[in-house]
């Protein structure tokens, strides 16, 4: 016979074991993944709407700079943002020059994401978004500070010496590519997009603000500190975390109406809903579970306090 004191309800509510909590988390967050196509009602946030409106207003045929500083550790959010951005750029025939200043793995991760988009295009017999003619990946720059300063000073010299391979040809200077051939300075670039899960957002603001219109796509953790730059008017648009991805996907599907009544049409009938739509219900479940866990713990504490009185 055990001598251990019998636990009351308050104690029980405060002492759910870790394995039980973890099992509930696994089960609860897995369920939505088995039911694809759930449409969660949603109101897109203003920063994401601004981002969508600005991307949709970019001139066709222009070239944007994309600093892709994410890897698969944040693929749930950053991967969705990257794919949403490039789906729009591809469909609007906007060229992109991609580089990274945060992680040596990032260029390969970006290439793989673009390959997935092209696989999707091929499967639907649609034109692909091709390296050299539509986009360039010019690799990793180890020092973010020095690179951003150099880009602000003279983009052609900052990227000098980098090479890429045209279809069927041998390596050539990236400035021979249709992506960069018309770029003389940052003034020729209509927008700069930063996709990041790290503090390169601060470096970009410090070094490039005022030189080129900046937009950022950051993880949920980075959201609050990046919101500061959006509120101050330093960013033309901002996508924060999974909610930001879902906002963009819904805007791509349904389009949006601006305050002045101007209508921006989306891409109805095309693949718009991807990672954001797949993972957003899971985020709901995870957040609900988190709130429930806090409530249960506090109810247990209050029951014990009442009993002690």
Interface residues for another protein in 28-57 (CB under 8 A)?
29, 40-43, 46
**Of residues 147-176, those binding another protein (CB under 8 A):** 147, 149-150, 153-154, 157-158, 160-161, 163, 165-171
For the bound state, the minimum distance from the C-beta of residue 135 to another protein, rounded and expressed in Å, comes to: 11
* Count of residues engaged in binding another protein, rule: CB under 8 A: 76
**Of residues 97-126, those binding another protein (CB under 8 A):** 104-105, 108-109, 112, 115, 118-119, 122
For the bound state, the minimum distance from the C-beta of residue 267 to another protein, rounded and expressed in Å, comes to: 20
Binding mask 60-99 for another protein (x = CB under 8 A): -----------xxxxxx-----------------------
Indicate which single residue of 22, 57, 59, 210 sits in contact with another protein (rule: CB under 8 A).
22
Q: Which is nearer to another protein, 116 or 271 (CB)?
A: 116
Distance of CA 81 to the CA centre of its chain: 3
Binding mask 180-219 for another protein (x = CB under 8 A): ----------------------------------------
For the bound state, the minimum distance from the C-beta of residue 248 to another protein, rounded and expressed in Å, comes to: 13
Indicate which single residue of 91, 190, 284, 303 sits in contact with another protein (rule: CB under 8 A).
284
> How far apart are alpha carbons 89 and 271 in whole angstroms?
14
Q: Which is nearer to another protein, 8 or 199 (CB)?
A: 199
């Amino acid at each position: 016979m055990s001598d251990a004191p019998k636990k009351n309800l308050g104690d029980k509510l405060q002492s759910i074991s870790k394995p039980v909590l973890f099992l509930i988390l696994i089960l609860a967050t897995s369920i939505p993944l088995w039911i694809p196509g759930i449409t969660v009602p949603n109101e897109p946030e203003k920063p994401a709407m601004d981002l969508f409106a600005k991307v949709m207003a970019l001139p066709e045929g222009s070239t944007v700079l994309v600093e892709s500083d994410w890897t698969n550790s944040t693929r749930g959010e950053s991967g969705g943002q990257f794919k949403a951005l490039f789906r729009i750029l591809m469909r609007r025939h906007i060229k992109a020059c991609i580089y990274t200043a945060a992680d040596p793995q990032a260029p390969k991760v970006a290439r793989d994401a673009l390959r997935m988009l092209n696989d999707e295009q091929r499967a639907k017999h649609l034109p692909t978004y091709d390296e050299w003619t539509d986009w360039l990946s010019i690799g990793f720059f180890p020092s973010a500070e020095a690179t951003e300063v150099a880009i602000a000073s003279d983009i052609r010299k900052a990227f000098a010496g980098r090479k890429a391979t045209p279809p069927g040809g041998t390596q050539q200077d990236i400035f021979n590519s249709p992506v960069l051939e018309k770029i003389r300075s940052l003034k020729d670039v209509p927008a700069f997009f930063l996709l990041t899960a790290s503090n390169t957002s601060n470096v970009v603001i410090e070094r490039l603000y005022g030189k080129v219109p900046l937009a950022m796509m950051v993880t949920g953790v980075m959201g609050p500190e990046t919101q500061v730059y959006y509120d101050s008017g330093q960013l033309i648009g901002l996508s924060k975390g999974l909610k930001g991805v879902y906002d963009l996907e819904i805007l791509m599907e349904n389009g949006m109406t601006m305050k002045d009544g101007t209508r921006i049409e989306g891409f109805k009938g095309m693949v718009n809903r991807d990672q954001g739509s797949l993972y957003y219900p899971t985020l709901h479940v995870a957040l609900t579970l988190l709130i429930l866990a806090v409530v249960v713990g506090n109810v247990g504490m209050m029951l014990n306090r009442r009993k002690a009185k």
